[in-house]
């Protein structure tokens, strides 16, 4: 049985969620109406997973989350609105230790839940297998340390900035559950003069990816943008695949171009890491490609990234020690597709070494 704590200030939402998970047959469920009750229930009920609303009276979800992760770390799935404010709060929750999130659509509660039922159940089940990060893991501290080290390296170097072309190399990164935090660690560790374009497929809804790109742009030396339309690929720039679409690479008018395409129904998660990897294989030299597969459920991207390695490229699988969910990187390792297995904080230095930076 999976012990689940449902936290929401709406009695109707709690009842609907209760009915939804009771129908699954293998959940033991408790409820909480606000953050105070959530903290107490986490201590007394000791759930495996918590679904946590953000906007609640008495104690909001972010405050409750910080107390929960300090006292008894548990896998938390945030339930947040599809707004820019909701997206920013969700990313803050991920930094505080939440392992995943579900975007709550607008409209009546029953119809909203009908649209996200399969996703919600899958994410809660996945969270039950996740490794929650409590007080012992400080992602923000890792990011700050990397920024300081990068700033020191830039100050100590007097070499002029080298002009490179997009054909010198290409970095492709795939991530799912736990990915936003892992991506922040990896991308913030890349130096200002990192010479390759970076293409990122992070499973995420459409309303969140622009805010995510803007957040990353604030903490990274490289420019980070959402690939919301066809964009010519430039060296030293990070392209975040737009949610609600698949992100592909192609050659247009002799230039590498990244662009969004309608979601391919043959793939469960989007933007699809596998489809991005396949497009890279079709339009770029695998020997000059480096692919990184970060934390996430399932196997998305493992086939394409294994093929990149077979054709002479470099690949990295995030290690089990740092991955929130050791699913996608584990599949890459199992298939023999990982050149190296590294913790999230060690990936950027290795990428810089391969890129000659």
pLDDT value, residue 106: 62
pLDDT at 160: 41
pTM score, two decimals? 0.83
pLDDT, residue 82, reads: 60
Instruction: Give percent of the chain with pLDDT exceeding 90.
Output: 73
Which of 66-75, 162-171, 172-181 is least confident? 162-171
What share of the chain has pLDDT > 70, as a percent?
87
Catalytic residue set: 176, 203, 300
Per-residue pLDDT tens for 308-328? 999 999 999 999 999 999 999
* Coil, strand or helix at 313: coil
- The enclosing H or E element of 61 equals helix 61-71
pLDDT in the model for residue 196: 96
Asked if residue 75 lies in contact with residue 49, where contact means CB atoms within 8 angstroms, the answer is yes
Q: Of the ranges 118-127, 137-146, 153-162, 303-312, which is most confident?
A: 303-312
Question: Residue 278: CB partners within 8 Å, gap ≥ 6?
Answer: 304
pLDDT of residue 324: 92
Query: Which value, in Å, is the radius of gyration of the alpha carbons in the chain?
Result: 20
Whether pLDDT at 21 is above 90: yes
pLDDT of residue 153: 45
Residue 46, pLDDT score = 97
* pLDDT band (50, 70, 90) for residue 107: low
The per-residue pLDDT for 114 is: 76
Mean pLDDT value across the chain: 88
Residue 98's nearest CA partner among 77, 114, 116 is 77
- Give pLDDT, residue 195: 95
Q: What is the pLDDT of residue 233?
A: 96
Nearby residues of 74 by Cβ (< 8 Å), 6 or more positions away: 42, 47, 48, 49, 50, 68, 132
Q: Please give the domain boundaries of the chain with CATH numbers for all domains.
A: 2-128 (3.40.50.2300), 142-354 (3.40.50.180)
């Amino acid at each position: 049985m999976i012990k689940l704590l449902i936290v929401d200030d709406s009695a109707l939402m709690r009842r609907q969620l209760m009915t939804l998970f009771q129908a699954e047959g293998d959940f033991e469920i408790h409820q909480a109406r606000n953050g105070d009750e959530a903290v107490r229930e986490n201590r007394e009920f000791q759930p495996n997973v918590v679904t946590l609303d953000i906007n609640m009276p008495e104690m909001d979800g972010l405050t409750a989350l910080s107390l929960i992760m300090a006292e008894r770390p548990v896998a938390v799935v945030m339930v947040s609105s599809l707004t820019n404010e909701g997206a920013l709060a969700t990313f803050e929750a991920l930094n505080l230790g939440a392992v995943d999130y579900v975007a709550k659509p607008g409209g009546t509660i029953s119809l909203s839940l009908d649209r996200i039922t399969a996703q919600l159940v899958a994410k809660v089940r996945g969270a039950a297998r996740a490794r929650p990060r409590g007080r012992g893991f400080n992602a923000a501290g890792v990011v700050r340390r990397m920024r300081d080290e990068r700033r020191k390296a830039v100050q100590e170097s007097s070499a002029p900035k080298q002009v490179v072309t997009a054909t010198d190399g290409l970095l492709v990164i795939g991530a799912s559950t736990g990915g936003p935090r892992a991506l922040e660690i990896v991308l913030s560790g890349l130096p200002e003069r990192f010479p390759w374009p970076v293409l990122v497929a992070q499973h995420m809804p459409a309303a969140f990816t622009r805010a995510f790109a803007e957040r990353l742009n604030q903490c990274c030396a490289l420019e980070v943008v959402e690939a919301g339309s066809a964009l010519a690929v430039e060296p030293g720039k990070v392209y975040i695949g737009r949610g609600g679409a698949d992100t592909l690479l192609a050659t247009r008018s002799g230039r590498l171009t990244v662009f969004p395409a309608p979601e391919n129904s043959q793939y469960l998660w989007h933007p699809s890491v596998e489809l991005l990897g396949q497009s890279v294989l079709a339009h770029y030299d695998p020997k000059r490609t480096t692919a990184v597969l970060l934390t996430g459920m399932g196997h998305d991207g493992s086939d394409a990234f294994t093929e990149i390695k077979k054709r002479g490229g470099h690949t990295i699988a995030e290690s089990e020690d740092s991955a929130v969910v050791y699913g996608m990187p584990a599949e890459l390792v199992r298939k023999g597709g990982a050149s190296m297995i590294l913790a999230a904080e060690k990936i950027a230095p290795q990428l810089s070494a391969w890129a000659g930076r």
